[in-house]
Amino acid sequence: MRELRRFEAEGFHVVTVDGAEGPVRAHLLPDPSAVAAAGVPIHANLYRAAARVELPGLGAILLKVHRPRGLGDGLLAALRGSRARAEWDAARYLAGAGIPTPEPLVVAERRHGLALEQAASGTRFLPARETFEPALGRQPAAKAHALLARAARWIRALHDRGVSHRDLHSGNVLVGPGPGDRTTIDVVDLHTVRHGHAPSRRLRERQLAQWLHSLLGSTGPGGRLRSLEAYLGPDVPRADVARARARVDREIARRERVRVRSRSRRCVEESGTFTHDVGAGKQGVRRRDLAPAALDAALAAHERVLAARGDALLKAGPKSLVSRVPGAIVKERLARTWRRRLEHALLPARARRGYANAHGLEVRGFSTATPLAFVRRGGRIFTLYRDLAPSPRLDHRVREAVRGREWSRRRLREVSDAFADLAARLHRKGVWHGDWKACNFLLDERGPRVSFPLLDTDRLRFRRVVSTARRLRNLAQLDASLPKVVSRTERLRWFRRYARGGALAGPAAERAALRRVGRLVARKLVVVDEPIE
């Protein structure tokens, strides 16, 4: 490895590799954050920003600027050292251990006493690289299998050489161009790496599970098993492989539950995607890509729609007002009774439930109107969603397509099967909707495949398990809200598709379930022709 140079300049304690001191003094100091802001942004969150910058004499580097956030993070930076220093030390260790990672070039810290003000680290920028999961998807099947196996053996090499990467996911592994059995693999984002001691078996399996969890969207059970076998090696008995697989699968399931809970909370917290800065005179949270000026314009347009009472006023009910404004849907929750006003004042989480539930649906991989903002202003409560205007309501579209014979029998069954699969997946994932009517689903037919965005998420609940009673209640709501142009034969086919592989499948379970659904439907207002709300 190259020799190191240590010096102090502009209040920074700096370490560089040989040959980098001059460019760092001339072009990186005194303010690395300004240099990063002028570069090509790569990634940013609340703790650090990363950018590709050109430093004369060094070429392209990946510059990361770290700032402590909050008391806890500041104490850690004072007692343990900065993330930049941890990344520098880990990169030097990995380079010495023969593990591919971008060459570390510089680390700089500026402190006031023990308090860290700013820290920066720079590594050689690797061109023509992409993160692991997209690279895996571009490989032919055989080469993808080879790349998965290579990655698993590479993770085993990390562990065997005393490296524990506590943030080992596909976004932190870069893959170069070329076939999967020969392309380069580099590990990045090393500030959580611990090195020098071989990880325990439990820690190894947890990190392997973390890696496989990050590939859930592109790797099935077979790919995960191949990865585990490649990690363990060919000499491990099958019984030991089976036991290890069970432990890893349990850890993957646990991580998915944690991921869903964590990601679901981000829409009501200060994060890289959401912020509490909603402008003067308001409280709430908005997406960062919705500018405060755009939020104010949407609320002003909502007021104009309410005054005009035209077609843009989609709903004027006792509990809510819904309007369509340019680029968004604005829903205003009404509090006309003292009980409702008291609830909104004392239980703010209930008021924002529809907003948070819509984000929770997206986190779980379901289509809905993307929540943009939740705002309180002058005692009034507003929620903004992205407008899905091109997509019609499911009940309207089914009635028009079937009555007008626009859909062939085959097309009707394709749509019906896709909707049954979605309904089954919602319930399997623990999603229960207290108002599961056809009018609360849209039908998006763009392209050969169809999707069904779910709306009106105020009464949505996320459960570990949706009970049979709740499932049947939802099925009754849906059956009563579909127009009668959908025949009983098609409804029965839909139910069998929905129930297959579950507790409701089979002749006896089917008959019992349909009898219970029939009794529930008998108590409801049933759609005959014109869809209802």
Can you give the pTM of this predicted structure?
Answer: 0.82
How much is the pLDDT for 526?
A: 66
Instruction: State the Cα torsion 150-153-154-160 to the nearest 10°.
Output: -170
How much is the CA Rg of the chain, to the nearest whole Å? 28
CA 524/CA 481 separation, integer angstroms = 9
CA 81/CA 263 separation, integer angstroms = 28
Residue 530: pLDDT band (50, 70, 90) is low
CB 306 within 8 A of CB 320: no
The mean pLDDT value for 230-251 works out to 96
Tokens 């009106």 — which residue? Answer: 456
Residue 365: phi, psi to the nearest 5? Answer: 90, 20
How much is the pLDDT for 339?
A: 77
- With CA atoms as reference, report the closest residue to 228 among 130, 146, 148, 118: 148
In this predicted model, what pLDDT tens digit does every residue of 249-260 receive, in sequence order?
999 999 999 999
Has residue 41 got a pLDDT over 80? yes
CA 284/CA 259 separation, integer angstroms = 24
Average pLDDT, the chain: 91
CA 132/CA 111 separation, integer angstroms = 36
Has residue 533 got a pLDDT over 60? no
- Torsion-angle region of residue 10: left (phi > 0), alpha (psi -120 to 50) or beta? left
- With CA atoms as reference, report the closest residue to 504 among 520, 519, 492: 492
How much is the pLDDT for 288?
A: 93
Can you spell out the DSSP letters for 76-105? HHHHH--HHHHHHHHHHHHHHTT---PPEE
Has residue 393 got a pLDDT over 80? yes
Has residue 528 got a pLDDT over 60? no
Specify the DSSP element, H or E, that contains 225: helix 221-232
CA 86/CA 68 separation, integer angstroms = 14
How much is the pLDDT for 214?
A: 96
Would you call 419 helix, strand, or coil by DSSP?
A: helix
Has residue 164 got a pLDDT over 90? yes
Residue 529: pLDDT band (50, 70, 90) is low
In this predicted model, what pLDDT tens digit does every residue of 21-40 receive, in sequence order?
999 999 999 999 999 999 99
CA 190 from chain center: how many Å? 22
